[in-house]
């Protein structure tokens, strides 16, 4: 394990090169534009603030009315180390997360990953929206994210409705 001082020295070295600042700023500006894009696309869906993270993930949440009634929301997440966008179905708290995790555990959820119940895991279900995005083509990136997020939202609303009729 790397000690804190060694890690900070490496971080300082990377900062002195200047590229890490450009990359981080590019990710934050892109996420801000993507958030604004989704706010205009789904004006009826409340959105959260942008969470900048610790260079591990950056995300914001949108809440379709069908999910809000169930205390659920959808997070659009950029995972820095793996360079990918994901969509997560999340609960507004850990008890809601556990309820839906238990419901989904016995269901077939094609194409989606059921998250483990761990203290640092905030998702219930996950999917990859876009692997290795091209930040030089924000228009294409937003279009792909929109198409895939639309499907995820529809699927989550149907899945949640199904679990509520079988309970």
Distance CA 143, CA 44 (A): 19
Confidence (pLDDT) at 107: 85
Q: CA angle, 115 as apex, 112 and 121 as ends, to 5°?
A: 140
Place of tokens 């934050």: 28
| Range list of β-strands (E), 94-149 | 113-114, 123-131
pTM of the model: 0.92
Confidence (pLDDT) at 111: 87
- Do 129 and 76 contact (CB within 8 A), yes or no? yes
Residue 52 carries which DSSP code? -
Three-class SS state of 123: strand
pLDDT digits (tens, 9 = 90+) for 10-46: 999 999 999 999 999 999 999 999 999 999 999 999 9
Chain CA centroid to CA 164, Å: 24
The closest alpha carbon to 82, from 119, 61, 57, 54, belongs to: 57
- Do 145 and 152 contact (CB within 8 A), yes or no? no
Q: CA angle, 97 as apex, 92 and 99 as ends, to 5°?
A: 125
Q: What is the mean pLDDT of residues 98-120?
A: 89
- Domain of residue 137 covers 4-166
How many domains does one find in the chain? Answer: 1
The confidence band for 96, taking pLDDT boundaries of 50, 70 and 90, is very high
The closest alpha carbon to 135, from 62, 58, 63, belongs to: 58
Other CB atoms within 10 A of residue 80 CB: 15
pLDDT digits (tens, 9 = 90+) for 120-146: 899 999 999 999 999 999 999 999 999
């Amino acid at each position: 394990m790397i000690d804190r001082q060694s890690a900070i020295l490496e971080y300082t070295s990377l900062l002195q090169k200047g590229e890490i600042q450009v990359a981080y700023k590019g990710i934050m500006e892109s996420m801000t534009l993507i958030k604004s894009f989704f706010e205009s696309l789904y004006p009826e869906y409340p959105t959260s603030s942008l969470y900048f993270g610790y260079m591990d993930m950056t995300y914001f949440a949108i809440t379709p009315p069908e999910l809000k009634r169930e205390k659920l929301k959808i997070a659009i997440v950029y995972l820095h180390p793996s360079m990918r966008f994901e969509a997560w179905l999340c609960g507004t708290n850990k008890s809601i997360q556990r309820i839906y995790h238990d419901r989904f555990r016995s269901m077939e959820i094609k194409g989606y990953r059921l998250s483990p119940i761990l203290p640092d895991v905030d998702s219930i279900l996950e999917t990859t929206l876009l692997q290795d995005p091209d930040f030089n083509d924000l228009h294409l990136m937003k279009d792909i994210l929109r198409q895939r997020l639309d499907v995820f939202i529809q699927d989550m609303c149907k899945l949640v409705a199904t679990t509520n009729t079988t309970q």
